[in-house]
Amino acid sequence: MAIDAVDPSAGEEPRPIDLLTGLATTRAIRRYTDEPIPDDDLASIVWHASRAPSGSNRQPFRFLVLRDGPRAAAAKALLGTSFRRGWAAKLRNDGYDASVEADPTSPKARTAAAMQHYVDHLESVPVVVLVCLERYRDASPFEGASVYPACQNLLLAARALGWGGALTMWHQMVETELRELLAIPDEVALSACITLGRPTGAHGPVRRRPISDLVFDDGWGETAPWAVDPDGTRHTHWRR
Ligand SMILES: Cc1cc2nc3c(=O)[nH]c(=O)nc-3n(C[C@H](O)[C@H](O)[C@H](O)COP(=O)(O)O)c2cc1C
């Protein structure tokens, strides 16, 4: 399979798209139009998210959906503040500010511009989903294993229907305020904050490291000669 062949920007794509196309083209989408997500699509997105696996099929994931109700507006305002703080810290810590200064047309500078736009418009993102984990036992480092598959299902379902999203952790700085505003009980963890909407641009193939960096055969670091990227696969520039 040539990955370029599944680039939906090449033309009209079916709805829903097929599973493998979705897996290869579900990027983090951070620029949205104002178009609201209709109930039917949102219902389908959360239904498919809830088909995700979890330990013993306990299904501890919960989806707190913020659209345009009064509390949603207040929550988005809190999140806007928090996202801007999160991005401001990353801008400095990960050297984005230096890249923008050195070459405003570089890929890193363009990412920085997209991120700035994202956090500056958080209040008008059509849908925000707080993905929560209702604990049934003490907190554990592994509990996310029963909630993050549902997050990815949610993003894939959105993608399949022509919507886009991004999983973030930038709710954490206002978690206390969100808990109070939205009456989230103490035993519920806020595992992720996912934004959703209609992408302003096209979806497209994700870029990752060469598959040979990521797959070993029969021992750590041992090359897997059968694990090859399909023709046309684009890679990230970042290498270890
Ligand atoms: C655990 C996790 C945490 C993330 N946190 C953030 C975040 O706080 N803010 C954000 O804009 N994106 C966040 N992302 C999205 C990643 O930046 C994105 O998935 C990654 O850069 C790959 O992008 P791509 O799929 O478009 O290639 C997060 C993703 C994951 C899986």
Q: Report the CATH number at residue 136.
A: 3.40.109.10
**Domain membership flag for residue 84:** yes
Residues 29 and 128 in one domain: yes
What pairing do the DSSP bridges indicate for beta strands 164-168 and 61-66? Answer: unpaired
**Domain membership flag for residue 107:** yes
Residues 237 and 149 in one domain: no
**Domain membership flag for residue 234:** yes
CA–CA dist 157, 164 (Å, integer):
9
**Domain membership flag for residue 91:** yes
- Which whole number is the average pLDDT over 207-213? 96
Residues 194 and 215 in one domain: no
Residues 136 and 45 in one domain: yes
pLDDT at residue 6 above 80? no
Question: Higher model confidence: residue 14 or residue 40?
Answer: 40
CB 61 within 8 A of CB 54: yes
Strand partners, 190: 132
Question: Higher model confidence: residue 208 or residue 238?
Answer: 208
- Which whole number is the average pLDDT over 3-8? 45
pLDDT of residue 237: 73
DSSP letters, 202-227, are: ------BS-HHHH-BSSSTT-B-TT-
Sequence-ordered strand ranges (E) for 72-136: 127-134
**Domain membership flag for residue 4:** no
pLDDT of residue 11: 56
- The verdict on the CB of residue 202 being under 6 Å from ligand 1 is no
- The verdict on the CB of residue 23 being under 6 Å from ligand 1 is no
pLDDT of residue 101: 87
> What is the best residue among 85, 151, 168, 196 to mutate for testing ligand 1's pocket, by most ligand atoms within 8 Å of CB?
168
**Domain membership flag for residue 7:** no
**Domain membership flag for residue 220:** yes
**Domain membership flag for residue 3:** no
218 CA to middle of ligand 1, Å? 30
Residues 92 and 202 in one domain: yes
| Three-state SS at 66 | strand
Residues 67 and 87 in one domain: yes
Residues 71 and 183 in one domain: yes
Mean of the per-residue pLDDT values of the chain: 93
Residues 64 and 93 in one domain: yes
pLDDT at residue 125 above 50? yes
pLDDT tens sequence across 157-185 = 999 999 999 999 999 999 999 999 999 99
pLDDT tens sequence across 62-99 = 999 999 999 999 999 999 999 999 999 999 999 998 88
27 CA to middle of ligand 1, Å? 9
Residues 26 and 60 in one domain: yes
Residues 96 and 163 in one domain: yes
The total of structural domains in the chain comes to 2
Residues 99 and 174 in one domain: yes
Domain region containing 182: 13-206
pLDDT at residue 206 above 50? yes
166 CA to middle of ligand 1, Å? 7
Residues 212 and 192 in one domain: no
